[in-house]
Amino acid sequence: MSLETDYIIIGSGIAGLRAAIEIAASGARVTVLTKDRTSESNTEYAQGGVAVALSEDDEVALHEDDTIAAGAGLCDAEAVRVLVEDGKKYITELIEWGTEFDREEGHLMFTQEAAHSRRRILHSHGDSTGKEIVRALIARAGAIRNISFLAHAATESLLIDGSGACAGVRYLDPLVRATRDITARAVVLASGGAGALFLHTTNPNVATGDGMAMAYAAGAELADMEFVQFHPTALMLENAPRFLLSEAMRGEGGILRNADGEAFMRRYHTAAELAPRDIVSRSIVREVERTAGKVYLDMTMHSRQFLERRFPKIYETCRHFQLDLAREPIPVSPAAHYIMGGVRTDLHGRTTVPRLYAAGEVACTGVHGANRLASNSLLEGLVFGARAGRAVLDDAESYKPSKDTRYAAPDDDTTTNHIHHTSGASGSTQHGEIALAVLKRVRRLMWERVGITRTRSGLQRALNEFEQIGHARLRTVSRNFLSVATLVARAALWREESRGGHFRDDFPHQDDEHWQVHSIQQRDAQIASSAMINFEAESPVSVQR
């Protein structure tokens, strides 16, 4: 059965909620589909805060410079300017909508994070910033009658009409356990990142890059998929999730120590604990190899009262695992955290597929370049979510009713694409088992061969294995997972240098002469390079390999 709405948003994190609110102001019907419960997203787990140049000693030009410096030569200057300038406006609006950032004597409190030249990070309830933002945005969106939410509705593919424009989505209806189509005038992808492709990650299970796979299958261009940020400090305990120990802890003076108790970071970078994340992550891995022991984050210089007040969630979580933040250093390890690449967009969230828009972590606007500056992603989701919503409305006049709709799946093999979820109990169980096995294998390969340190042979082996796995009879959801893993590995193999979140052991240096370009991937085409992300400004031309 096919349903119909005016506009579809895929995802209920900061980008999706902000886009929905923007579009709904026009009176149009907006349907927000989300894979799990409405609050389950990367946004919900964001701890440290949101960067914005709002303090008295700060300027947007400084925020802009810091963002560009972190991006290792690949930031899109125009996109960064939009981020930092519009950021002030949209954060102010978020506060007006009831978001409670921490204050002291009525004034907003700003904390420090790595590679920021000013204290410019707003935070909520100490270390639960994302949760507070989601609360405020869901309250706002929930009060708008023309926004409806469809929770536990995992989108599998996009509907594409005869003119190549996006005309809706196919999703799994949780009630009847069958796929359903919804048609709409336009679709906004706000489905978040892909950290859960990796064995060790700070991301929740929903972050499997589905939006990237769906957009790719529909013919959209993806950019910079090789750039993955590994957060240096996730809790490292057997059989415990890789719970994030926020960068703000190092911002507040936290020290990394090796198994001998040595504070080792100065040996690797002059900024020590506040060096860029990729450098801290690799330094931790090296120290673990060198000492054959663990690395620890030491916060014992602070009083118990300070730690309980400043990092209540982290303090509690450590306590849950019988670790006392005030008395002992906490074992840490890097984990996949954020993907800089994604669906290529212009400055308004338009993708290269008509009537398909993207915002937030699923998108690649070029604001992060090869390495994201801490706390810039919540800001990106907010700013570009609103801008994508506006662009949807601006483009509405050019809308023409769709004809000859088909759905775009990761490959054109109809035997695999038409496996639905109505295939009977034993069929379902069998597919469920295959999907789980694929997931586990791919996540391990991504961690071991497409992770913090990459080599040509490792990447090639991962790609060969992905291809083998691809021959199995898989459902669209598993194919989406495999498709994103392949896109990351392929781009990582292509880029023969090291830059930002991409480190090749066999090409350990940054090579601006040959590689200060973005990778562009499109279905049925070789990887191309482009000088810019914004395709309105320049199209990719040169095919390198």
Ligand X SMILES: Cc1cc2nc3c(=O)[nH]c(=O)nc-3n(C[C@H](O)[C@H](O)[C@H](O)COP(=O)(O)OP(=O)(O)OC[C@H]3O[C@@H](n4cnc5c(N)ncnc54)[C@H](O)[C@@H]3O)c2cc1C
How far is it, in rounded angstroms, from Cα 502 to Cα 109? Answer: 34
Between residues 452 and 527, which has the closer beta carbon with respect to ligand X?
452
Residue 277 appears among annotated catalytic residues: yes
* Closest distance to ligand X from the beta carbon of 210 (Å): 3
Residue of 18, 170, 185, 277 marked catalytic:
277
Between residues 244 and 295, which has the closer beta carbon with respect to ligand X?
244
* Closest distance to ligand X from the beta carbon of 152 (Å): 9
DSSP string, 4-72: E-SEEEE--SHHHHHHHHHHHTTT--EEEE-SSSTT-SHHHH--S-EE-S-STT--HHHHHHHHHHHTT
- Residue whose C-alpha is closest to residue 475's, from 170, 71, 42: 170
* Closest distance to ligand X from the beta carbon of 416 (Å): 18
Strand partners, 30: 7, 147
* Closest distance to ligand X from the beta carbon of 34 (Å): 4
Q: Please state the separation of Cα 433 from the chain's center in Å.
A: 27
Task: Determine how β-strand 186-189 pairs with β-strand 356-358.
Answer: parallel
Q: Are 259 and 293 in contact (CB under 8 A)?
A: yes
Between residues 188 and 493, which has the closer beta carbon with respect to ligand X?
188
Burial of 414 (0-12, 13-18, 19+ CB in 10 A): exposed
Between residues 242 and 490, which has the closer beta carbon with respect to ligand X?
242
In 72-162, where does DSSP find H-type helix? 77-96, 129-142
How far is it, in rounded angstroms, from Cα 255 to Cα 543? Answer: 45
Strand partners, 121: 51, 111
Give 66's Cβ-side CA count (13 Å radius): 26
How far is it, in rounded angstroms, from Cα 102 to Cα 99? Answer: 10
* Closest distance to ligand X from the beta carbon of 488 (Å): 16
Q: Which residues bind ligand X (CB under 6 A)?
A: 10-16, 33-36, 40-43, 45-50, 129-130, 154-155, 190-193, 202-203, 206-207, 210, 244, 338, 360-362, 375-378, 381
Between residues 13 and 540, which has the closer beta carbon with respect to ligand X?
13
Q: Are 50 and 351 in contact (CB under 8 A)?
A: no
Structure tokens at 469: 């796995």
* Closest distance to ligand X from the beta carbon of 179 (Å): 12
Between residues 53 and 517, which has the closer beta carbon with respect to ligand X?
53
* Closest distance to ligand X from the beta carbon of 47 (Å): 5
Between residues 50 and 256, which has the closer beta carbon with respect to ligand X?
50
- CA distances, 478 to each of 189, 424, 484, 517 (Å): 19, 19, 10, 31
**Token pair 């994508």 is at which residue?**
388
Active-site residue numbers? 277
